[in-house]
Amino acid sequence: MLRQEIKRAAKRARRRTSDRALPRFTQQHDGTRHIVEEPPLITRLDPAEANRIGEALDA
């Protein structure tokens, strides 16, 4: 069930991706773009949490 939901969400995200999204969710600093945090929806993960999520997605 979770795997199906992830696939469905990914499919929706691919359809909704547009050039307008990049400026909305990022800011440019010193020539590079950085994601802008907007808690609680957009936040940075600590490295341990990012590793756990990556391992779960790989599995």
Q: What are the residue ranges spanned by the domains of the chain?
A: 19-59
pLDDT digits (tens, 9 = 90+) for 19-52: 677 788 899 999 999 989 999 988 989 999 999 9
Q: What is the pLDDT of residue 47?
A: 94
Is the bond preceding 40 in cis, omega lying within 30 degrees of 0?
yes
pLDDT at 17 over 80: no
Beta carbons within 8 Å of 37's beta carbon, 6+ residues apart: 43, 44
- In the structure, what pLDDT confidence band is assigned to residue 15 with cuts at 50, 70 and 90? confident
Indicate the pTM of the whole model. 0.42
